[in-house]
Structure 1
Amino acid sequence: MESKKEHFKRTLLDLANNENLVPGIYNYCDRWCERCTMTKKCLTYLHEQEMKEGTGHKSPDEENKNFWEQIRVAWEVTMEMIEEDAERLNIDLDDVEDMELPEHIETPLEAKAKEYGTKMYNWLDENQPFIKEQAEKLVMINDEASMIKYKDAMEVIQWYSSFIGAKVHRAHLDLEERKNDPNDEFNIYSDNLGSAKIAIIAIERSMDALSVFYNDFKEKEDDILKFLVELSTIKKQLLQTFPGVMEFKRPGFDD
């Protein structure tokens, strides 16, 4: 019988040889698998589903234990595969020079994007009574269409609130060095562009969702307008920092 590590590695390698998958499609997605239309072409999603099969219904404690077990197994398999590749390429991992990674200094734009996420989290928490009251009104009048509209908008706002800051941060990693490297043979700068593009997409979707509440909840329109302005400013600065970013082709999504 296969061990968890053996099963993890075998299924990963089997899927990696699947010609129907789009290489790297998971690099610049929004990690919202439940809303994605490309899951059948994504190695990450299919492998996660493969590892979930047969687990059945578990208690929260069991689910958490399984989560950390999967992290441990993934780490062990990753290190094992690195060692196998090193041996195949005749590389002595014990003789690799230490690399000093440059310290990343957070830019004002990164700080602004991260601050948006914190402010949105606090705003949603503080306005729970108001949101609950609006939901109860819709239930009373049996307005299912509005319920779905507000529910979807809320999910979008919540999902992307911290995601935007994380992707703006990644887009700025070693930015100047990568952007101005004439010998970027591996096109590392594309990672900055891909991260910036998905951040902009997340901003646009968040603004659309916030507009739903801005149009209907007059009591909160000042707060929502401030968020819309913040997001618009972040988007504008991203477009200035990454000229031509929207022309970047994300594997699978923009082909």
Structure 2
Amino acid sequence: MAKIYAFCNHKGGVGKTTSVINLGVGFSRRKQKTLLIDLDPQSNLSQSLGLEEKTGNNIYGGLKGDYVPEPFAINKNLHAIPAVLDLSGAELELAAVPARELLLKEIVEQVKNPYDIILIDCPPSLGLLTMNALAAADEVFIPVQSEYLAVHGLKKIMETIDIVHKRLNNRLTLGGLFLTQYDKRKVLNRDIRETVGEAFGQKVFDTVIRNNIALAEAPVEQMDIYRYKKDSAGARDYAALTREILQKNLA
């Protein structure tokens, strides 16, 4: 049965899309049949995978009820459902739809059977699209940028997860947090790591994603970090985080 993970943070630029792509590839390399769902109107995940032209079979049409999206194959064990810019209007278009927070859950129920893991890339907001992701997910992963303002917003995310758990999805739990853009030479980054650890304890992954230029360059070439620069710090960090997530789930 597929495990469904939503990657959520209402602050932009924290590494959600980068994490979804590279963890997805990491899982697929470990023979986990994996599906990525792009739920962000910016469509960065779709663009990074070369799916921005696949406009006739996307999550937007699925949410509107036009069809059940058919995932595109990225490799043998990795598939994806892309987004399009039209998704930015979904919150208004779906406002009057009954049970609108459960539309993604219905789609996931219809496509999940072949998969071991499903990763949902949420938009940088806590609006209807993110609510759909949380209503469909088993666990939430929160990438946390290694700076003060990113940590400051965690309280709001946790409140939202708690509300969704109570009202929409009693399976939903916090899967974990991990730090991104981390530089151990900076006192602030080390302080942030300590602060997050004190607040969330064992929910914080040991692995941190270091500040690495290759992670920013890879999407430009429509590559994951392993194909772009397999020996980079970014590749090593995401491989380590992949192992840690799998180990926790198998424990």
Task: Give the TM-score of the pair, scaled to structure 2.
Answer: 0.27
Bigger fraction of residues in helix: 1
Instruction: Specify the structure having the higher radius of gyration (Cα).
Output: 1
TM-score (norm: length of structure 1): 0.26
